[in-house]
Structure 1
Amino acid sequence: MTINLIPFGMRPVRLIVWGLLMLSAAGLRAQASKNVSLISQLSFPVELNDVWGWADSSGREYGLVGRTNGVSIVDLANPAQPVVLHDIPGVTSVWRDLKTWGHHAYVTNETGNGLLIIDLSGLPGSVSYVDTVLAGVTTAHNAWVDEDGYLYLCGTNNYNGGVAIYDLNPDPGLPAFVGAYDQRYVHDLFVRGQRAYLGEILDGRLTILDVSDRSAPLVIGSQTYPGGFTHNTWLNDAGDICFTTDELNEGYLIAWDVSDPEDIREQDRIRSSLSQGRAAPHNVHVLNDFLVTSYYRDGLHIVDAARPGNLVEVAYYDTSPLAGGGLAGAWGAYPFLPSGRVLVTDMQEGFFVLDVAYRRGAYLEGQVTDGQTGAPVGQVDLRVLGVEGGETRSQTSGAYALGVADSGSYQLVAQLYGYETDTLTVDLLPGQLTTQDIVLQPLPRIDLEVVVREAGSLDPIPGVTVAALVPDTTVGFTFTTGFDGRVIANRFVINTYSVQVGKWGYQT
């Protein structure tokens, strides 16, 4: 095929195409829930932020509810009728985070007055509390307390917004400063086994610290990734997978293999189906290999993460009447009460007590290969018909993994331009892996040569962009001519194409 281009200034103004490239072979939504039921809901006159839970020595459970103007202690003795026992005043702050150690709660804010320390030992009758400035820290975004009784404050007003570390063992009511990490701003963190997993949100970075010497934390691993906005982190029970959330509209919940901190690798990523992936995730927690996430406008989101390379959405409860992107709705979730009940704070809708039926997903995995060569085929779109979010794309190795929440017989469609679309029937059972390899048959192909010449002189033109587009689809191929004005496309799929050519200085 030869295409002639006319330089600007030449007449006539026309494009001469010798040959025709026509090849043929012959906002708002109703409240939604799945595997989650509402036990109770409690409204508040102000907006809420984070939530934590606590149980006394008798097993009586409480919700610690962050408000923009303080903290409320909610009695859950009758979870169907929660009662606010105590309202603790605080400086006005959109952000509060709460953690507990023994019978003390530690509450951060981003306005001032330091750390709020609450003694819960007098519940249900009374609580005592004090605002404490610790080693110059007057504000902090988040907090963590590890299993050894060390408190970590991050996003602080000093230490470059990093992490300040305190020992609670001598006196839980007066944390003793131990050390700090100040290389970058840290938005949130999780600590276990003398390793800290940092969400360095401004850098889109997951960083791992060795905190065996808490006076001198040491970076032992770090990973950035395109589009990252690493908001929070949480480790699985086995300690080899760290989950992160990207607090962005259309952000992801991502599973990372952290077994080797020097070689952190992504395993899978997932978004909520309620807003078709448009909502922003906030805070992820891990309970028995289930991910319990406060998901802003999509409410509470539950993912089966037993197979970290195949994350499956299995439950949800939409606490918010809002839909899509935006930082409103479910701020916090707490799934660790002895009763198993889950507490959720929705910024606008209040405090929720929920009952979650944790159920394993049904896993579907396999390999896609070329029917002629046997080679693996990547970038194949695979979808389970009738399942929102039941789609994935094969890797370069040809491997794919996806899952569904409910057992049944499903239609699996595998599609990639240049191959015949394949539809298979698969029977899937919860908690079980079904292996389904797929062999795609390639469509007929030819070796195609295109030559672009200058009209009049017929000299070849190098550096011309040639685009072959399949009409009424998003499929297209772009080439650039070489020094001889040629483009050679081997094994080009036979079809009907719309051809566009162009180069600065020429009319097309």
Structure 2
Amino acid sequence: MISAKLRGALLCTVLLLTSACAAGQTASGASTPDTSTQKTSAPAGKPSSTSDVMTSDNVKLVAQMPRPAPLNGRDDINTDLAFQGDYAFVGNFGGFAIYDISNPTKPQLVSTVSCPAQQNDVSVYGDLLILSIDEPRDGEGCDSSEGSRDWEGLRIFDISDKKSPKYLSAVRTDCGSHTHTMVPAGETLYVYVSSPGPEPESKTCPPPHELIQIVEIPTKSPQSAKIVAKPDIFPERQHSELASGCHDITAYPEKKLAAAACFGDGVLLDISDPVHPKVLQQITDTENFQIWHSATFNNDATKVVFSDELGGGGQATCDKNTPRTKGADAVYDIVGGKLERRGYFKIPRDQQENENCVAHNGSLIPVPGKDIMVQSWYQGGVSIWDFTDSVNPKEIGYFERGPFPGGGIAGSWSAYYYNGYIYSSDIMAGLDVLEINDPLTDPAKKVKMDDFNVQTQKSY
């Protein structure tokens, strides 16, 4: 989402930025879903914002967990997700929560950690949990406040005891950490830090800021984590007028590749040497993309899906007045080591003018031989779509709620597939668990993962 500050271009607050949305175009590859709509009643005891849902016939809401105290205040919105074994980790502006999902239809809250900051995107590796802090604070600890605004970066926790996580250490990074990406290398965990900037008057985000930062975390001594590189991965000036730096990077260590969404550009990287990533290609799309938000490889790394967060997540861009190529996904094939754009995808269901909606976080559904993805669209809900045909991607299932009562920012922030179920981190409603039963996706139920962090892809 957009904040009022330049370097907070995707700082996920409720302030909006005016977008330039021309009308009247139809995207190549946009199609009507091969599904029907049904209304279902949500489980008993849910807040009014989740009393009714709409789904395709092949999608069912099987569980819903409201945001737990103390992570349920007005400003304590849910953010990203990570998974490990029978546990789901849910980031929140107020900290994070851990759920036991050994029975996905009946998740159980294990613990909550109060650690306020924006936006607390979360990842897990072994006994470590990492949070991205993209908000200047007066100190590195969870007891810090906005105060003198001298620190932002990464916080590291010990989660060996899921019932009682412990704060370990922190690493200060320039312009904080909006998102981060893990690249494991033996007993060393490298973390690529993505953040917008610069903010000339800031103590933590001075110019210039045409770079990412790489943090080295020794897994046996995480307290000694430190920045080891600040590579400038932009061989040419960025096209974005919003911010420099990157919003999100997805690494595929097994393929020695990474794809970076860097506000005005998409970048394909060689990460054979994780401390010295090399640019293979830099692309832009000034006609259709405003904010290059995130990237997802297909399983064999022959395609990349880049998304555009038009308006920063705070606007209603899934309406009939916004072109189908804006606030959407673009599917690129990798041909001869180079990205070639093939088609676009956007949810085919028009949303209301008071529903913030745009392409956001998603992951592959692990179907061998197919390219299928589940993705969040804020108040546009959760979409399951097939991009096996890169030119003609199509939606095959969906889940959504009506407009959030009273207006404001709401909806699915992240929607990921993990071991047979779809987990959606809803900004206001909490944690949703969905099940899809469809011949196209049923083979995915045979794929079992030990852990899952969406920015660090693994083959299946």
Same-fold call, TM cutoff 0.5: yes
Segment of structure 1 superposing worse, 291-300 or 314-323 = 314-323
| 2:228 corresponds to | 178
| 2:14 corresponds to | none
Change in Cα spacing, 1:252 to 1:277, as seen in structure 2 (3 Å) is farther
Which secondary structure does the structure 2 equivalent of 1:146 belong to? Answer: strand
Structure in which a larger fraction of residues adopt strand: 1
Change in Cα spacing, 1:29 to 1:91, as seen in structure 2 (3 Å) is closer
The aligned amino acid for 1:348 is M
5 Å matches for 1:369-388? none
| 1:342 corresponds to | 422
**What is the CA–CA distance in structure 1 between the aligned matches of 2:401 and 2:157, rounded to whole Å?**
28
Q: Structure 1 residue 170: deviation in Å?
A: 5.0
The aligned amino acid for 1:62 is Y
**What is the CA–CA distance in structure 2 between the aligned matches of 1:130 and 1:170, rounded to whole Å?**
12
2:191 aligned residue (119, 131, 151): 151
| 1:66 corresponds to | 91
| 2:341 corresponds to | 266
1:97 aligned residue (98, 121, 135): 121
**What is the CA–CA distance in structure 1 between the aligned matches of 2:334 and 2:221, rounded to whole Å?**
32
* Structure 2 residues without counterparts, runs of 5 or longer: 1-49, 141-152, 197-203, 235-243, 311-316, 319-326, 442-460
**What is the CA–CA distance in structure 2 between the aligned matches of 1:42 and 1:320, rounded to whole Å?**
18
2:437 aligned residue (336, 357, 361): 357
Contact 2:422 2:435 in 1 (8 A): yes
Contact 2:78 2:428 in 1 (8 A): no
The answer on 1:43 being equivalent to 2:66 is: yes
The aligned amino acid for 2:386 is D
| 1:52 corresponds to | 81
Q: Structure 1 residue 207: deviation in Å?
A: 0.8
Which secondary structure does the structure 1 equivalent of 2:209 belong to? Answer: helix
Q: Structure 1 residue 211: deviation in Å?
A: 2.4
**What is the CA–CA distance in structure 1 between the aligned matches of 2:279 and 2:402, rounded to whole Å?**
39
Larger Rg: 1
Contact 1:96 1:108 in 2 (8 A): yes
| 1:275 corresponds to | 350
Change in Cα spacing, 1:128 to 1:30, as seen in structure 2 (3 Å) is closer
**What is the CA–CA distance in structure 2 between the aligned matches of 1:99 and 1:320, rounded to whole Å?**
30
5 Å matches for 1:162-173? 162-169=211-218, 171=220, 173=222
Contact 1:49 1:346 in 2 (8 A): yes
Q: How many positions carry a matched residue from both structures?
A: 321
1:224 aligned residue (253, 275, 284): 284
1:31 aligned residue (30, 38, 53): 53
**Percent identity between the two aligned chains:** 23
**What is the CA–CA distance in structure 1 between the aligned matches of 2:106 and 2:245, rounded to whole Å?**
41
| 1:420 corresponds to | none
**What is the CA–CA distance in structure 2 between the aligned matches of 1:54 and 1:284, rounded to whole Å?**
14
Q: Structure 1 residue 358: deviation in Å?
A: 4.6
Change in Cα spacing, 1:116 to 1:317, as seen in structure 2 (3 Å) is same
| 1:242 corresponds to | 304
Q: Structure 1 residue 342: deviation in Å?
A: 1.6
**What is the CA–CA distance in structure 1 between the aligned matches of 2:51 and 2:99, rounded to whole Å?**
30
The aligned amino acid for 1:227 is N
Change in Cα spacing, 1:29 to 1:128, as seen in structure 2 (3 Å) is closer
Q: Structure 1 residue 316: deviation in Å?
A: 0.8
2:171 aligned residue (101, 114, 133): 133
5 Å matches for 1:75-114? 75-93=100-118, 95-111=119-135, 112=137, 113=140, 114=153
Provide, for residues 334-360 of structure 1, a one-character-per-residue CA deviation record: whole Å limited to 9, x for no partner: 213xx3222111112111111122543
| 1:5 corresponds to | none
The aligned amino acid for 1:143 is H
Q: Structure 1 residue 268: deviation in Å?
A: 1.2
5 Å matches for 1:417-432? none
Contact 1:105 1:118 in 2 (8 A): yes
| 2:382 corresponds to | 300
Contact 1:154 1:161 in 2 (8 A): no
* Structure 1 residues without counterparts, runs of 5 or longer: 1-27, 362-508
1:285 aligned residue (363, 387, 399): 363
Contact 2:81 2:122 in 1 (8 A): yes
The aligned amino acid for 1:237 is N
Which secondary structure does the structure 2 equivalent of 1:133 belong to? Answer: strand
The answer on 1:253 being equivalent to 2:329 is: yes
Change in Cα spacing, 1:219 to 1:53, as seen in structure 2 (3 Å) is closer
Provide, for residues 252-284 of structure 1, a one-character-per-residue CA deviation record: whole Å limited to 9, x for no partner: 1111113344x4211111111222698311113
**What is the CA–CA distance in structure 2 between the aligned matches of 1:326 and 1:280, rounded to whole Å?**
15
Contact 1:180 1:217 in 2 (8 A): no
| 1:118 corresponds to | 157
Change in Cα spacing, 1:236 to 1:211, as seen in structure 2 (3 Å) is same
**Structure possessing the higher relative contact order (Cα contacts under 8 Å, 6 or more residues apart):** 2
| 1:370 corresponds to | none
Change in Cα spacing, 1:321 to 1:277, as seen in structure 2 (3 Å) is closer
TM-score in terms of structure 1 length: 0.58
Provide, for residues 464-502 of structure 1, a one-character-per-residue CA deviation record: whole Å limited to 9, x for no partner: xxxxxxxxxxxxxxxxxxxxxxxxxxxxxxxxxxxxxxx
Q: Structure 1 residue 216: deviation in Å?
A: 3.1
| 1:365 corresponds to | none
Which secondary structure does the structure 2 equivalent of 1:81 belong to? Answer: coil
The answer on 1:233 being equivalent to 2:233 is: no
The answer on 1:197 being equivalent to 2:259 is: yes
Q: Structure 1 residue 139: deviation in Å?
A: 1.9
Which secondary structure does the structure 2 equivalent of 1:335 belong to? Answer: strand
The aligned amino acid for 2:426 is D
Provide, for residues 187-217 of structure 1, a one-character-per-residue CA deviation record: whole Å limited to 9, x for no partner: 001011332211011x1x1111222233333
5 Å matches for 1:477-488? none
**What is the CA–CA distance in structure 2 between the aligned matches of 1:48 and 1:171, rounded to whole Å?**
32
